[in-house]
Chains A and B, each alone.
Chain A
Amino acid sequence: MSVRLHSIVALAALTIMAGTEVGFAQSSPTVPQIVRDRIASSGRTRVIVELAATSLAPDGRRSAEQMRRQRTEIAAQRSRLRARLGQGAHRFVHEFANVPFVALEIDASSLAELEAAGSPAVRVFEDRLLAPTLAQSVPLIEADLAHQIGLNGSGNVVAVVDSGVDRTHPFLAPRVVAEACFASAESGDGGDCPNGQATEIGPGAAESCAFAPLACGHGTHVAGIAAGSGPEFSGVAPNASLIAVQVFHASMQCFFLLEEFPCPRAYESDIVAGLEYVMSLRNQFNIAAVNMSLGGTAYDSACDAESPLFSAIINNLKSVGIATIAASGNDGLTDGIAEPACIAAAISVGATTDDDEVAWFSNASADLDLLAPGTGINSSMPGGGFEELDGTSMAAPHVAGAWAIYKQAHPGATVDEALASFVSTGTPIADSRGGPTKPRIRVGAAVGIESPVPVIDSISPSTVNAFASAFTLRVNGSGFIGSSKVSLNGQPQRTTFVNDTTLTVTIASGQLPASAAAVTVAVSTPPPGGGTSNAATLNVVVPALEVSSTMVDAGDPVTLTLVDAPGGAEDWVAVSAVGSANTSYVTFVAFANAPSGSWTVNMPQTPGTYEFRLYLDYGYGIAAVSAPVVVAATEPEPEPEPEPAPVATLTVSTTTVAPGAPVTVALANAPGNPTDWLGVSAVGSANTSYVAFVAFANVASGSWTVNMPQTPGTYEFRLYLDYGYGIAAVSAPVVVQ
């Protein structure tokens, strides 16, 4: 008995009830280093946060009540997360109703909240920015190798049972060879086919449904992945033809977050009618595969007993050599896939990312057959445009197109033979969520194309700092294919295939050795053909701090030279006492984006042994240390002898004159105060006694001619300062006779 994990029908009975218990993460969520690096370098990054959800694990047949509990629990956890993050600098990018995940843009403070005790977050993933594919996903599955030898689906047909196909789209015209619609109305007698009925067959019957403009583009997108053809990029089998079958009706049972209303839904009986229509054309066309990028209830094992109608028709198709390719579903399950993918005779397909990891949303189980790219897939949309979509819906048509190529190469192959070939040649992809390892298809290998031997011409960068934040290593050369992997010292890395001359690898902070080293870079391509390339060397350097002197006096300058630093925007150098804590420093120099540089720093006044330390990213992890610099105690400089104050002098032009005769007196070395003055006094008289005076301001030296007194006697010139009576200088006596 299969265990039913999820039912969109059951969701119809959902009502929100109060009092739902919510789970708490048992410990801090795991956070990949790349997320921390991105926040450190850019301040913000986008992440996927998995929320604690106690009821997601399959513990028996899912009732409507259990589904209600699950959705309510997920909603409650989202609310808790919102409350926890508060009004901080974060942004909700996507929320999901049926799986316990949210996509956020966060900064360091938001990450701290996610990691703090009591957070509802279980895991934090990087929300990768993926380059638009098909331009990448088609080479990734090596369909380009098949195209190069003329295997492009020519002569074969892929049927797309979906929401209709815009057959006039330049990517698809003129390869739609048959059309039908089976879309009975949710109520009443009519239907949602272009003729207003439940069934229509003929040209125009499978035009894209119109009641949900966004969702109704789904079939056109899927068809483009399988068989689109364009000047810049193409689908997997660009020369295959298409049978378009529209099976979606306008439903009022719309449960998915942000879903259009009405929404597209397909009755099992309408789908089966579409499949039977495809089967009816089997003698008219070489139908390689039917693609069904749709699903409902998920089961943990084959669901033939639960879905006998799907089982019967899919076995019918298989028996006449037509593979039914079905998407595994997007509920993020690791032990269940949706019907009809869970039918044993169907080829179930889960989704991978561009760098060959199982997509977080992809359903998986032991019964899952294959994996194919399903994230950021750029393909046709009704009206002539293109759009990127994610989903196992996008993975399945990669396999459907691959099937057309395989059947072109092996027209007589049965469904089982083709599947065995895709399984045996696929690249095994381990599911980091704990799901099973499954093969990601390799079309070229499946049809036996020998891959070239990879050759490395250069790598960029070729030198990198051991403390560098995450960076992209670009490997340039030739003979690369989608399955080529870059290895560092023999360890295969998650590799992004850019084109046959370029591969890239994202290297996380801390992944490289922390000391100077030469890392061997090589590229390996699995058989058939392939092999391992020549080696290139990635030089890992560590920063160094050199000082101009290791013995200086207190406060003396030392010139510091930094080389081979990471050159971060927030790196800094500190002067610290040797042996002190990482967080201890006396002074510092902050700088930005300087992989090398030279600074002169005055050493501390306190004697001791110091060192220069390089810190990165405003942190306290020491990336490099200089040689110790000893600051010696210095003898105090002797106080210099004060210069003797100059002595003011008064010199007279004569020492004997007649009464009233003039005498010239010269002043030198005076203080030059604003209120100094000269007095003419009798020798021996009191300081305050004078018979004549000369007042002057700010004169350090000068001369004046003074008429001596009429009274005979012996006189002298006296210098007084600051209107005072202290005598600063005295001239020689002048006798008046």
Chain B
Amino acid sequence: MGRGLIACVTAITAHAWAEVPVEAGVLDALASGRARVVVELRIGDAFHPEGTLSESAAAAQRQAILAAQQATLTALEGVEARVLQRPATVPFLTLDVGPDALYRLKAMPELVVRIFADSSAAAN
């Protein structure tokens, strides 16, 4: 499966990618030096809820998610980024980043769909 994902990513990188969009709230938060961000990751096929997949396809999707997370974290080596949440069933990563990590994420459109703030909720 890892090979399949790599092949897919290779195919995608043949296209021209725009810069990864970043939600305005992230930049606001980064004004204080660091920001909690949720990074939506690109996986080979579109994300499908697990219940709509066969057992094997669900496992493959999890593997693709894991690979996309790993590829993103590898690409962030050398800049300060801390993993906060790493879900197994949905293609996202939650990171604590500084400006240099965000800059690098924005430059990874082949891996990252978009970046938005890890917003908070209150009891209601």
Which residues from chain A sit less than 8 Å from chain B, CB to CB? 7-10, 13, 64, 162-163, 182, 184, 189, 198, 215, 218, 248, 251, 253, 256, 263-273, 276, 279-280, 293-297, 308-309, 312-313, 315-316, 318-321, 327, 329-330, 338-340, 391-393
Contact = CB atoms under 8 A, between A and B. Distances in A.
Contacts of B91: 312
B113 to A, nearest CB: 8
Contact of A9 (B25, B88, B89, B94): B25
Contact of A198 (B47, B84, B117, B123): B84
A312 B47 contact: yes
B45 to A, nearest CB: 14
Contacts of A218: 123
B121 A315 contact: no
Given A263-B122, A329-B124, 4 more contacts: A268-B121, A269-B94, A308-B116, A392-B124
Most A Cβ at <10 Å: residue of B36, B87, B121: B121
B87 A276 contact: yes
A253 B36 CA distance: 15
B119 A297 contact: yes
Contacts, number: 125
A8 B122 contact: yes
Interface stretch (B1-9, B48-56, B67-75, B97-105): B48-56
A392 B90 CA distance: 28
B85 A272 contact: yes
Contacts of B85: 182, 184, 269-270, 272-273
B80 interface: no
Interface string B24-51: 0100100000001010100000010111
Contact of A276 (B36, B52, B88, B118): B88
Query: Taking chain A's interface residues, is the majority helix, strand, or loop, or is none over half, making it mixed?
Result: mixed
Contact of A321 (B38, B51, B92): B51
A391 B89 contact: no
B52 A319 contact: yes
Contacts of B122: 8, 256, 263-266, 294-296
Interface residues on B, range: 20 to 34
Contact of B121 (A189, A198, A295): A295
B123 A264 contact: yes
B118 A319 contact: no
Which 3 residue pairs across A and B have the least CB separation, nearest first?
Answer: A319-B51, A319-B49, A269-B94
A641 to B, nearest CB: 97
Nearest to B86: A273
9 contacts: A268-B119, A269-B38, A273-B87, A308-B113, A309-B38, A312-B91, A315-B49, A316-B90, A340-B121
Nearest to A306: B116
Contact of A313 (B90, B116, B120, B124): B90
B124 A272 contact: no
A283 to B, nearest CB: 11
A38 B38 CA distance: 53
A313 B117 contact: no
A312 B28 CA distance: 25
Nearest to A391: B124
A306 to B, nearest CB: 8
Contacts of A264: 122-123
Contacts of B88: 276, 280
B123 A393 contact: yes
Contacts of A253: 120
Contacts of B117: 9
Given A269-B94, A309-B38, A294 B121 contact: yes
Contacts of A265: 120-122
Contacts of B50: 279, 316, 319-320
B124 A294 contact: yes
A393 B122 CA distance: 10
B60 to A, nearest CB: 15
B119 A318 contact: no
A373 B51 CA distance: 32
Contacts of A297: 119
Contacts of A7: 119
A570 B120 CA distance: 56
Given A269-B118, A270-B85, A316 B124 contact: no
B38 A162 contact: no
A308 B118 CA distance: 12
A8 B25 CA distance: 12
Contacts of A266: 120-122
A198 B49 CA distance: 26
Contacts of B89: 276, 279, 313, 316
Contact of A162 (B84, B92, B94, B123): B123
B87 A313 contact: yes
Of the candidates A163, A268, A319, the one having the most CB atoms from chain B within 10 angstroms of its own CB is A268
A256 B38 CA distance: 25
Contacts of A340: 121
Contacts of A163: 123
Contacts of A10: 25
B84 A184 contact: yes
Contacts of B38: 268-269, 309
Contacts of A392: 124
A629 B1 CA distance: 106
Nearest to B48: A319
B124 A309 contact: no
A210 B39 CA distance: 31
Contacts of B116: 308
Given A198-B84, A272-B85, A320-B51, A215 B123 contact: yes
Given A267-B36, A313-B90, A327 B121 contact: no
A316 B51 CA distance: 6
B32 to A, nearest CB: 10
A218 B114 CA distance: 34
Nearest to A189: B82
B121 A296 contact: yes
